[in-house]
Structure 1
Amino acid sequence: MSAAIHTGGCQCGAVRYRAEGEIGFPHLCHCRMCQKAAGNYFMPLGGVMHENFKLTRGEPAWFRSSETVRRGFCEKCGTPLFYDGSSDHMSITLGSLDDPQSVKPELQTNLAHKMSWFGELDHLQHDNAMDITEEQEKTVSASSNQHPDHDTEVWPPGNRHAEGQS
């Protein structure tokens, strides 16, 4: 049986990584630092042992958010990618995985900062008129500068067709 291989990276493709094996402790962190770092209400994280983690393109920029934690992000597009807490593993943001559906969070941490209204989200009204149409999605896709959800040999693509993109 072969070990799971997870790849991922930032939105623009300047920083890419590879993680082999299980992504441990997949969780949603609600602490205020993670909220600020993600620009969101929580940050989904999971850990991979340092020896099973490798950058495959580019180098992240780092911000030391506390004495014991540094956070890696893409300097070009700002995508939050890593949480390095000076331990035996590197935490990766689960949304930066090429297949984020492959790792399901198993728990939550720092609930004192969790939004009190999260339990109501499934009951929010859905406005179908605001959903992107197939035609709009094609238009956005044709001009998108977002890196595809797979490794590419070249970044940025000088010739979009050479990368199999249309």
Structure 2
Amino acid sequence: MSDTIRTGGCQCGAIRFRLEGEPFDSSVCHCRMCQKAFGAYYAPLVATGEAKLTWTRGELKYFQSSNHVRRGFCGDCGTPMTYEAADGIAISAGSFDDPALLPPVVQFGVEGKLPFVDRLSELPARHTMDDIDTAPFLADIVSYQHPDHDTEIWPPENGPPENQPPENKR
């Protein structure tokens, strides 16, 4: 097993995990079941393979989506976290602290692939702040999302993250 360690968690920070070793692969699944589970056009997943998965904070809630598959999610914020079947566990790629390190290498369920997905990169692209005129609330938006790294405690005991002393902003 490699010395590679990757961490991640849900949007609110109630669930955190650690993956030690190299995952089997990273993929996207276009099947209708994955589309609904993620509320998206496809599900990006990282198959853990022989890597050691440890849940370091919280406990998943589960939905049995078929006779062979259950899906884990955060019961507090709803973040999809796992796809679990007889062949192993896959973790939602976006829940890793650095998902850019796990680009997909294969597509599954292509019979359910929506016809426009391959053309998404052709759409006009805008940065978030490009919409400041039509969405002025963006100017002072504060994220309460868990940061992309492990923290000793979450949520912070004395309010939103911006009110935390430097030692709690890890």
**TM-score normalized by the length of structure 2:** 0.85
How far apart are the structure 2 equivalents of 1:31 and 1:16? 27
Report the AA paired with residue 158 of structure 1: E
Shift of 1:126: 3.2
Q: Which stretch shows the higher mean deviation, 74-83 or 118-127? A: 118-127
Report the AA paired with residue 107 of structure 2: Q
SS at match of 1:26: strand
Q: Structure 1, unaligned stretches of length 5 or more?
A: none
CA contact (8 A) 2:23 2:50 kept: no
CA displacement 1:89-124 (0-9 Å, x = unmatched): 321000000001010100101111111112222221
CA contact (8 A) 1:53 1:90 kept: no
CA contact (8 A) 1:11 1:146 kept: yes
The question of 1:164 aligning with 2:165 is answered no
Q: Structure 2, unaligned stretches of length 5 or more?
A: none
Shift of 1:49: 3.8
Report the AA paired with residue 41 of structure 1: Y
How far apart are the structure 2 equivalents of 1:53 and 1:155? 21
Distance 1:65 1:104, change over 3 A: same
Q: Which residue of 2 aligns with 1:23?
A: 23
SS at match of 1:37: helix
Q: Which residue of 2 aligns with 1:117?
A: 116
CA contact (8 A) 1:62 1:71 kept: yes
The question of 1:139 aligning with 2:114 is answered no
SS at match of 2:90: strand
Q: Which residue of 2 aligns with 1:75?
A: 75
Stretches of 4+ moved more than 4 A in 1?
Answer: 127-130, 135-138
How far apart are the structure 1 equivalents of 2:2 and 2:139? 36
Report the AA paired with residue 164 of structure 1: K
Distance 1:127 1:6, change over 3 A: closer
CA contact (8 A) 1:81 1:96 kept: yes
Report the AA paired with residue 106 of structure 1: V
Q: Which stretch shows the higher mean deviation, 101-110 or 151-160? A: 151-160
Question: Superposition RMSD on alpha carbons, in Å?
Answer: 2.4
Q: What is the percentage of aligned positions where both structures have the same residue?
A: 45
